[in-house]
Amino acid sequence: MDSRTSDTASKSLQKPDARVEIMTEISLPDMNDLCDAAALAIDNGGGFGWLRRPERDSMENFWRGVIAMPLRHLLIARLDGVICGAAQIVMPPPNNEAQAHAVHLVSVFLAPWARGHGLARRLVERAEAKATSDGFKLVNLDVRETQQAAINLYESLGYQQYGLHPHYAEIDGTPIKGYYYFKAL
């Protein structure tokens, strides 16, 4: 075996670089990765509200808007440097003093090709850590009944279901239930 074959073989056995980070600005390559990952998640039924892939410029404007909102944090997952998923923490507005202790976890997704590396779990755990470090005491979230993998993840992380909405969403004219969860930090 020559050294090139050995290098290739050892690289194929290496564990992929899987990480989660908070994003405060989006470069062009990151925007491309983020839109591509979101599009694949949407196509696979995990589109955090979108049922059909929007036009690319609409998706880019969406992500620029997320970054521009001062009461949101965008967390992204990378696998070998490529963005493959995201989540958002939505903080309460200043006028909502009664709920100033709680954040909402929204728009969690992972591209199908990046599953199986623990990144969805790490996205949620990093969101919880960020919320805790910012002084919040509670995370709220909601999810469609059709997203069983997400439900399993949230429940395995200690989220407690407290409500059900029988007409939470509508897909192709069919009402879909939604589940509401919380977790004390």
Residue 126 lies inside a defined structural domain of this protein? yes
Average pLDDT over residues 137-148: 95
The per-residue pLDDT for 75 is 98
- The residues that bridge with 18 in the sheet, in sequence order, are 79
The per-residue pLDDT for 49 is 83
Residue 115 lies inside a defined structural domain of this protein? yes
Domain range spanning residue 48? 17-184
User: What is the pTM for the complete model shown?
Assistant: 0.89
Average predicted confidence (pLDDT) for the chain: 92
One-letter-per-residue 3-state SS of the chain: CCHHHHHHHHHHHCCCCEEEEEECCCCHHHHHHHHHHHHHHHHCCCCCCCCCCCCHHHHHHHHHHHHHCCCEEEEEEEECCEEEEEEEEECCCCCCHHHCCEEEEEEEEECHHHCCCCHHHHHHHHHHHHHHHCCCCEEEEEEECCCHHHHHHHHHCCCEEEEEEEEEEEECCEEEEEEEEEEEC
Q: Give the residue with greater pLDDT, 26 vs 5.
A: 26
Average pLDDT over residues 157-161: 98
Q: Do residues 147 and 46 lie in contact, with contact meaning Cβ atoms separated by under 8 Å?
A: yes
Q: What is the pLDDT of residues 23-40, one digit of tens each?
A: 999 999 999 999 999 999
Q: What is the pLDDT of residues 94-116, one digit of tens each?
A: 999 999 999 999 999 999 999 99
The answer on pLDDT for 9 being more than 70 is no
Average pLDDT over residues 171-175: 93
In the chain, the number of structural domains is 1
Residue 112 lies inside a defined structural domain of this protein? yes
- The residue among 84, 38, 54, 91 whose CA lies nearest residue 69 is 91
Average pLDDT over residues 65-93: 97
Q: How far apart are CA 131 and CA 139, in angstroms?
A: 8
Share of the chain above pLDDT 90, in %: 86
Q: What CATH number is associated with residue 171? A: 3.40.630.30
Residue 8 lies inside a defined structural domain of this protein? no
Residue 127 lies inside a defined structural domain of this protein? yes
Residue 2 lies inside a defined structural domain of this protein? no
Per-residue pLDDT band for 46 (boundaries 50, 70, 90) equals: confident
